[in-house]
Amino acid sequence: MEALTRSIEKLMHSYDRDGGINRRSGQNLPSKEAVHAIVSDLETLAFPGYRREDGIDDTNARYVIGELAHRTAGALVAEAAKALEYRYRLDGSNGCPAACHLEASDIAQGFFDALPGIRAMLMTDVQAAFDGDPAAQSVEEVILSYPGLEAVTVHRFAHWLWERGLPLIPRMMGEYVHAKTGIDIHPGAKIGPRFFIDHGTGVVIGETAVIGRDVKLYQGVTLGALSVRKAEGGQKRHPTLEDGVTIYSGATILGGETVIGEGSVVGGNVWLTASLPPGTRVYVPQGDFIVDCRG
């Protein structure tokens, strides 16, 4: 065991040399485990009876939902306060724990005030999946089994928090569902109602992407940036998809100035870095682009 003791001492010394990355002597950061639990509870609040064995029925729904909402809100306040303390330390300002807790409480209250509206948006996504997939037998099947819906559900939670400037936690939420579904949506992306990701695996949607209503993506679609230079982080780097656009599997669309016009269809494996007018169809037969602007 002496050898292990020496190894532990070396490990402890490494913590002192790494510039604080380990957070051993700093204030706590948000807990990944706690954030994952918050996501799970929020999914239950969005779709009660679908996400866990919650025992909800007409006689106890108010009590069960009330208890879960109180618990989830408390957990969100605790983790958001840690994230806000981190932001103030990073900025070099003096955000005291009490002020961070108060700000976190305001964010959590605002989120729960917004939750009915988020649920209404999610129900449009459920209906879009049901309407858009001939294999879907019911909306219940969509809610229970479609990874695209789960990714979009968590994105809508994370996006609300991202828009309020909460650091760390929206990204943690997004990466949690990314690991579960294989769908990577940055919480900054703006996504309209009736959004459907079919199959889903390998879809990537960048931070500054803007997606209209009634948009449908298939597996392997990338809405990415032409440049990944750090200095361009504050610019719009990802494309805009207008209403009613369909993007088939493996297509890659890049650039902040790229706009795919309303009702356009982009075929599988197409690579685009330029805008398309409304009603355009683009596909690749035998390696050559065919662009049909006649609608």
Full set of structural domains in the chain with CATH: 26-183 (1.10.3130.10), 202-295 (2.160.10.10)
Q: What is the pLDDT of residue 291?
A: 62
Count Cβ atoms within 10 A of the Cβ of residue 58 and give its class: 0-12 exposed, 13-18 middle, 19 or more buried. exposed
For residue 218, the Cα-to-chain-centroid distance in whole angstroms is: 17
pLDDT at 143: 96
Rounded to whole angstroms, how far apart are CA atoms 211 and 121? 14
286 falls in which pLDDT band (50, 70, 90)? low
Instruction: Provide mean pLDDT across the span 143-152.
Output: 97
Residue position matching structure tokens 């440049």: 227
The pTM of this model reads: 0.90
Q: How far is CA 258 from the centre of its chain?
A: 22
Average pLDDT over residues 231-257: 94
Give CA separation, 195 vs 71, 182, 204, 228, 289, in Å: 30, 17, 14, 26, 27
Cβ-proximal residues to 173 (8 Å cutoff; 6+ apart), any chain: 35, 38, 39, 154, 157, 158, 161, 187
> What's the mean pLDDT in 71-81?
97
| Count, residues in the chain | 295
pLDDT digits (tens, 9 = 90+) for 88-140: 888 777 668 889 999 999 999 999 999 999 999 999 999 999 999 999 999 99
Lowest mean pLDDT among 71-75, 188-192, 285-289: 285-289
* Tens-place pLDDT, residues 47-68: 998 876 667 777 888 888 999 9
